[in-house]
Structure formats: structure tokens, C-alpha cells
Structure 1
Amino acid sequence: MNYTKQERNWVMYDVGNSALVLFNTSVVPIYFDAINTGASSAELVTAWANAQTVASLVVALLMPVLGSLADYAGNKIKFFLGFFLTGLVLCFAQAIPMGAMPFLVVYVLCTIGLNSSMTFYDAMLPDITTDDRMDTVSSSGYAWGYIGSCVPFIVCILLILVGPSALGLDMLFCVQVSFIITGIWWLAFTVPLVRTYKQRYAKELAPGETFGGEVVKTICGLGTTMRRIAEDRAILIYMIAFFFYIDGVHTVISMATTYGTSLGLDSTALILALLVTQFVAFPSAIAYGSLAKKYGTLRMILIAVAAYVGIVLFAAFFLKSEVEFWILAVVVGMFQGGIQALSRSYFGKLIPKERSNEYYGFFDIFGRYASVMGTLLVSVVTSLTGDASLGVLSIGILLVVGFVMLIRLSRIKGLA
């Protein structure tokens, strides 16, 4: 694909932030387990799920108001920069040696900065491309993010695995240095987007209106935006469907390594398997963007949701060994990038462009609260039963509900 400069630099941010996402979902849970001595496997899963829940909840509460404010001309890049820099500083801060609970607090705050910046980043999509290119550009972001994130990740894994024996370094120290490497990578691939991004669609301030008045007007206008969403059946049903099905996606991503660790699987094998996921996800996300043009975006989302139902069932009933975890990693890679990319681009086609951040703010509520519900379900069910497999199985219900809602949407909007 021939990218415009705006499209290319937008895709590059996915390359940068995906490095931290990959590191957070693979190495960080194992690092947390190492510094959280004396905890049982069920306690580890519960603590990690609670941390994910808190981070998702805070982002979900912030985004509607901040998203609406960001739709005013010139604001989107300011909010994006603020949360990006917050996440970056706290990414570096995780390299400081500390106890398990202080580390978990810093991790949660870093995750809030990362995920909030990604909400504003998603809302930039209508500004940097056109509707007919949106599926392909969105898929390219995820695809290059997957493959690009492998570069610093491999460097970090080599440091962690080889550093103690070859260089005489402490393994925990190697992990701490890896936070710095990942942060530098994130920064390097963010600079081009910040330098070239232009907000094409924006709300304008009324004559004489100040920023304070803008804030009051935004808060008062949230009810109006909610009514607009409720009155558009296609947007409303899609957001409800997204709320349920994205839960399974986010929970599988955030809990995979922790779940594997709780089953007693080797941590090195888990990390390498997730690296395979990245390589599989690269061509799969690109293919998903192309298939969406041929068969329709909504149809491809339906296929991915059905696949995730199978993934959850496999994880709950059959995942017992490293070989099975590798199989799961490959299958997840086939659908993970596609479902995220097409969910983002399909929503961008449905909403008014000049209010993209406002709508993506509410979209993020549905996505983040889904994450809250999924990780909370895992936490509660695992705590009550002492069985992490039952916790994983519980989110299959949410995926099925999302699938049913998408079927309903297809009857209203048509498979497109």
C-alpha cells in the first residue's frame, strides 16, 4: 500500500506503543510474580486482574469528557501528548527497584497514560485518511505494530535470558533495563506523528467562548451526545456488541501470561509463544484489511468473534501444556489484530467525523468497561473457586452475547 505521510506516521505510533503493550502482557506479569514473593497462583491472577480493572475503569471515566474537549480545534494533539508523556515517564519509573505493591501502582498509572493516548490516537484515524482506505490503514497500524514491537522485545528478551549468565547481571536488573529500552522505542516512533499530525475535522469555539466555558459546555453536552448515540440504532447496537465481544479480546491479551504461569508453564516458553503471536498477527492483520474490502467489515468481525469463542473454550478445557499454549498463541495471532483494527475502522465509518474524539470517548467507555467486567469476572470466579480455568470460561458468555448483537446489527445495517 502507498501511504500518505500522515498515514505512515500514524501507523508508526502503533509500532511504538505496541512494544510496551507486548512487554506489559508478557514479561511484566512474570516480573510482578518474581517480586511478589509468597503469593499463590490464584492470588497472583486476582491481583493482576484487579490492576487491569482499575486502569480500565479510570480511562473509561475520563474519556467522555476529555474526548469531547479534544474535538475542539487544536486540542486533540494536546491531550494525546499529555497522556503519552505521562505514560512514558511512568514506563521509565518502572525501572526503579521497588516492592510489589508500589510497582503495581506505577504500572496502573503507566497503563492509564498508555491507554488514554491510544484513545486519542484512534480518534485521529478519520483525520489522516478517507473512508475507503480506513480499514486498510487501521489494519496496517495493528500489523506493523505487531511486527515492529518484536524488535525491542527481542532485544529485551535476549538481555533477560543471556544477561545473567553471559554478563553476570541480575535478572531483575535486566528486566528493569528493559523498561528503559521499551520507553525509548515508544518515544522514537511517536515523534513523527506529533510533528506532522493535523486535525482536519474539529468543532470550533463560539465567538468569545473561553476554555472554561468550553469545559462547562462539554459536560452539559454529554447528555446530548448520549441521546444522539441512542437515536442511531446502528451505532447503539454496534457499541453494545463491541462492549461484550471486545471483553474476550482484551482479557485474553492481558491475562494470557498470568494464566499460563498459574498452570505451571515455563515462563520462557510463554514469552516465546507470545512472540510467535506477534509474527502471526502481522500478515493476519494485513489480510483482514484486504478481506474486509472483499467480504465486508462487519462479516469479518463476526468471524473473528466466533473464533474467540473457540479460543476461550480451548483455553478453559484443553490448555494444560506448553504445546497447547503455542497452539493457542498462533490462533490468537490469526484473529487478534484483525478484530481490533476492523472494530476501530468500522466505528469510524459510522460516526460524524467532526465529533470523532467525542464518539471515540464513549466508544472507549464501552471498551474499557468491557475490560473491567472481563478481568473482574476472572478475578471473582477464580477467587471463589480457586480454579483459573473457570474464570477464563466465564468470559465466553460475553463473547456469545456480542456475537448475537452483531447478527442483529447485520440485519439493520447490512453486512458491510
Structure 2
Amino acid sequence: MLKHFTKQEKSWMMYDWANSAYSTIITAAVLPIFFKSVTRGAGINPNIADSYWGYGTAVASIIVALFAPILGTLGDYKNMKMRLFRVFLVIGLISTAALAFTDQWQVILGIYIITVIGFSGANIFYDAFLVDVTTEDKMDRVSSYGYAIGYIGGSTIPFVISIALIMFGEKIGIPVLLATQISFMITAVWWAVFSIPMLKNVKQIHYIEHGPKMIVESINRLRKTFGNVKKYRKIFLFLLAYFFYIDGVGTIIRMATVYGDSIGIGSETMLLALMVIQIVAFPCAIIFGRLAERFGSSKMIMSGIFIYMLICILGYRMTTALEFWGIAMLVASAQGGIQAISRSHYGKMIPKENANEFFGIYDIFGKFSAIMGPTLFALSSQLTGSSRFGVLSVMIQFIIGATIFMIAEKKSPQKASLQTN
């Protein structure tokens, strides 16, 4: 499947294989369910627990968003991109492994926030490496294949092992608590081992030279970029649209299992459905990439937004496990595709030598959107006493995102160019 890609492209893709274990087990499935079971044991109302999880996610996102732009500008300097990538990778690995050593909900939430910082920080530099490993005409395909192999490998194999341990471990003398904690250690080990090709083979090709005061220079460059909003109007309109629609995608990923638990969908049903999502999402992400090459990335991003609007409506009305499965398949059809094509669509708009700076800005829009969605979900659930209104509130983000994206696409094509001295 990957024979037509270069060694650097394949090594870059393998990091999606590596960190997708975190995305599934920590972000979407095992940890949220574990958190809900621990809070239930502590006598906390399920809707309040949903709010705590949403607020925790928002706090982590604020921290990452505040530092993302300056980290991005630092990463543009020669030899800095990989150094910073390694720092955040280590933070993510150590904190993920630490989840295996606690069953206190407050500690779990605190460590989870640190894992988000490590995972998200590393992704700033991982995304920016896309311009170093491939050419513009292959970006949609390389980006979508990265998500695809992440689904079939990183999301599926460690997830299946973890779920098997949790569901059947007691038959061989492994309690559910221990099996769950082992799954967190499996995630950390998987993430570490399959990051090795990225660390060995991916190099920073596009960079700018730095003077003796890198941080001061970085701040000045960042200020200059934000000061030229009019010059980069198409890029910033796209980022504003991305801010809203990726908010919806991220909120559904983060809150799906806690929401399903609150309306009575069994844990086993949710875990099996999430496993199937990873398998179905594999070909769908590749198809999204191929369709983007044929019809354009803009049309495929809009298609993904409309699918998620339908998901919000169906999620609000959901009452049975069968309906949960139907919604899960819709998520699988668009989840990887809309993220992959958004990344490559943006990558083609920005200057390669300033990729980290622009991806740092890209990340701040993504992370601040991750504050709004979970917070809106949490407040809606808390104020109404029902998580259904939390799901419905996400619809607003997709409507606003689609509107701004269509406005952005009416602007004439442009590619940013920065003065770096």
C-alpha cells in the first residue's frame, strides 16, 4: 500500500500509527470510561462528571494554545523542529504511562491534562514536518494516508488488545482495574516504539537561520505575522472556519463515550463500536484523500462538515445501541478525512520555510476551539440536566464553520510569504 511513498513520507506516516493509540485509548475510549466509573464510585452525578471531563479538556487546551504560536516560530529555526518535537513526545509518553499507577479521579484528571499537553505539543511539530517530507501535489494523499494507517494500526491493534484485557481479563485472573491500567502502559509503549522511524528518518529541510536572540526574534516574527492579517486574509479566514468546525469534530471525539454512558449505552457496546470505527475509518480516510485530489480539498472539507451536522442531529435523538452504531459509522466516514484534508489544505497555503510558525497558529485555533466545544457541552449538560442538549449545541459550531469556510474559498487563491529578517 505504501510502495509509492518515499522513506521520509512513510516514516512521517508511522508517527500517526504511533500516536493514534493515544487518540483512541486515552482521548476517546478507555480513559473517559474509566474516569466515569471512578467518579461513579465516588458518588459523583454522571452529568457533573461529564462537566469535569469537559472542563479538564478545556484547561489542557488553553495551556497548549497559549504556547503554540511561540513554539511554532521557534521550530522554524534550523535544527529546532525535531528538538522541540522530542521534548513534547517525552512529556506525553511519561504522563501516559503514569496513568497506570492511580485510581483517584482527581489525579487521573490532572495527569490527563499533562498527557494532552505532551500529545498536542508534539503534534504541532509533526504536522509542520509535512512540508519537509513531501511535495505540494502529494500533500492530500500523504496526509490522508497518515490518518488511515493510524486508524488501522495505532488505533486498532493496541485498542483491541486493551479491550480484550478489560472484557475478558478476569477469566485469567486480571481484574478490570488492573487491565485498564495495563492498557495505559500499552499505549505509552506503542507510542514510543513506533515513533522511532520519525525520530530517525525525518529531517527539517525548510528552515530559517537564527541570530543570537531566538526568542526575541520569534516574538517579533509572530507579531509581524499577526500584524499582516489583511495580507494573509484567506489564510486567517480559513483558520477562523477551522476554529469552529474542528471544534465540533474534537468535541464529539472527546465527549462521545461520556455522553453514551450518560444516556444508558453500555460500555461494551461503546468500546466495540469505537473499535469498528477505527477499521471503517481506514479506507474512508484514503478515499477522502483520493476524492480531494479529484474534486479539490475544499469540497471534501464541506462534505465532512455536512456529515457532522447530521451526526449532531442524530446524536440528540439517539436512544438505542443500534442508533449509536449508525452514528458511529457516520463518524468513521468523515473523522479522519476532514482532519487530514484540513491539514494538507492548510499546508498548501503557507510558506514552507515558515511552516512551524503557521502550524503553531493553526494549532492555537484548533486548541482554543477545543476549549469552546467541551465547555459549551459541559455548560449545556449542567444547566439543562441532560447531555442531549450538549450534543445539539455542537451543531452551532459546524454551521458557523461552514459559513466562514465558504466565504474564505471565494477569495482568490494566495500563498503567504514572510519577511524573516
Superposition TM-score, scaled by structure 2 size: 0.95
- Could you tell me which residue of structure 1 aligns to residue 74 of structure 2? 69
Q: CA deviation at 1:39?
A: 1.2
Alignment of 1:61-140 (within 5 A): 61-140=66-145
Q: CA deviation at 1:181?
A: 1.1
Q: CA deviation at 1:269?
A: 0.5
The aligned amino acid for 1:13 is Y
Q: CA deviation at 1:97?
A: 2.4
- Could you tell me which residue of structure 2 aligns to residue 259 of structure 1? 259
**Does residue 1:271 correspond to 2:271, yes or no?**
yes
**Does residue 1:142 correspond to 2:153, yes or no?**
no
Can you give the 5+ residue segments of structure 2 that lack an aligned partner in the other structure?
414-421
The aligned amino acid for 2:371 is V
Tell me the distance in 2 between the aligned counterparts of 1:301 and 1:264.
32
- Could you tell me which residue of structure 1 aligns to residue 23 of structure 2? 21
The aligned amino acid for 1:371 is A
- Could you tell me which residue of structure 1 aligns to residue 341 of structure 2? 342
Taking only the aligned residue pairs, the percentage that are identical comes to: 40
Tell me the distance in 1 between the aligned counterparts of 2:83 and 2:260.
39
- Could you tell me which residue of structure 2 aligns to residue 402 of structure 1? 401
Partner of 2:101, secondary structure, is coil
Q: CA deviation at 1:230?
A: 3.9
- Could you tell me which residue of structure 2 aligns to residue 35 of structure 1? 38
Deviation sequence 1:98-139 (CA, Å, 0-9, x none)? 411011101110111011111110010000000000000000
Q: CA deviation at 1:229?
A: 4.1
- Could you tell me which residue of structure 1 aligns to residue 417 of structure 2? none
Tell me the distance in 2 between the aligned counterparts of 1:410 and 1:33.
42
Tell me the distance in 1 between the aligned counterparts of 2:368 and 2:412.
25
Tell me the distance in 2 between the aligned counterparts of 1:336 and 1:86.
26
Q: CA deviation at 1:393?
A: 0.8
Deviation sequence 1:192-232 (CA, Å, 0-9, x none)? 110111101001023xx2xxx11112123321011234422
* Equivalent of residue 169 in structure 1, options 174, 187, 194: 174
Tell me the distance in 1 between the aligned counterparts of 2:165 and 2:236.
47
Superposition TM-score, scaled by structure 1 size: 0.96
Partner of 2:348, secondary structure, is helix
- Could you tell me which residue of structure 1 aligns to residue 224 of structure 2? 224
- Could you tell me which residue of structure 2 aligns to residue 375 of structure 1? 374
**Does residue 1:158 correspond to 2:164, yes or no?**
yes
Deviation sequence 1:350-373 (CA, Å, 0-9, x none)? 011100010011111111111100
Deviation sequence 1:147-178 (CA, Å, 0-9, x none)? 102011111111111111x2122111111011
Q: CA deviation at 1:41?
A: 1.4
Partner of 1:200, secondary structure, is coil
Partner of 2:411, secondary structure, is helix
Aligned residues: 408
Tell me the distance in 2 between the aligned counterparts of 1:267 and 1:98.
18
Alignment of 1:301-340 (within 5 A): 301-316=301-316, 318-340=317-339
Tell me the distance in 1 between the aligned counterparts of 2:194 and 2:245.
30
Can you give the 5+ residue segments of structure 1 that lack an aligned partner in the other structure?
none
- Could you tell me which residue of structure 1 aligns to residue 208 of structure 2? 203
